[in-house]
Amino acid sequence: MPAPWPFAIRSQAAFPVLPFHTVHAYDIIKIPDDIGPWTRKVVKELEIHGRENMNGDCPPAERTITVERVATAKLPTQVGDFEIIGYRSLTSSEEFVVLAKGELGPDTPTLVRIHSQCLTGDVFGSIKCDCGPQLRRAMEMIEAEGRGAVVYQQQEGRGIGILNKIRAYALQDDGADTVEANEQLGFAVDARDYRQCAEILFDLGLCRVRVISNNPDKLRALENAGLTIVERIPIEIDAKEPAAHYMKTKKEKLGHLLTIDQ
């Protein structure tokens, strides 16, 4: 029975990489009992809003570009050689960086990752989260493929900024989890917005993407923007504490598609 997403018909215990069924998308939604209310809400929204982008236009015929490309340069890394591209938002002070490799075009399903900035994990090697290893794993996958892009967005701490993230860490030191800490500070559990990330993928010439992500909210955002998601590529890190607790919280409270034990 075809479904709009691999996770719509399978439990979280097993997520093989399956093709996205474009022809049958949104025809039937079958949601298992164990995915939780938040992911259930996301799948329902896919059923409602996803129909808007089923006309096959890529990019959508009517849209306003709210980002601009500023600079491009070569970037050799420990993983391999990439092109680094800088973008800035035309509606806010946010800036974006893209690591791209290979020839990017609309017809070839291409590996992509939307990676939210995590200074503590990406730069300082924090083991409170799985962000740093996820970024490196995504780069390695793209290097091995010879084609792909990472869109790196400045939405630290799920959109609350680095200083508030440190305040949230202090609350976690006292026993709160990552969701409870945001709530205790008066912030949304997840304030990130991925619409401009999708615009950047369009600007790179992409239409058909293979998304490296465990986050159904990212999948929904890219699909609603008009991208065709051919595959979801799981990216699960074999983490020990304290990152394991963080990943468990993401699965239980944020609906992330992880196989980590309850």
Tell me how far the alpha carbon of residue 251 is from its chain's centroid: 14
Which amino acid, 5? W
Residues marked as catalytic: 190, 192
Question: How far is Cα 12 from Cα 28, in angstroms, rounded to an integer?
Answer: 19
CA distances to 13, 90, 160, 161, 162 from 94, in Å: 37, 9, 13, 12, 14
Buried b (16+ CB within 10 A) or exposed e, 6-24: bbbbbebeebeeeebeeee
Are β-strands 148-153 and 95-101 bridged in parallel, bridged antiparallel, or unpaired? Answer: antiparallel
CA distances to 6, 25, 175, 215 from 21, in Å: 9, 6, 43, 19
Structural contact between residues 77 and 139, judged by C-beta atoms closer than 8 angstroms: yes
Structural contact between residues 127 and 110, judged by C-beta atoms closer than 8 angstroms: no
Structural contact between residues 122 and 132, judged by C-beta atoms closer than 8 angstroms: yes
Question: How far is Cα 85 from Cα 96, in angstroms, rounded to an integer?
Answer: 8
What residues contact 83, with CB distance under 8 A and at least 6 apart? 72, 73, 74, 75, 98, 99, 100, 101
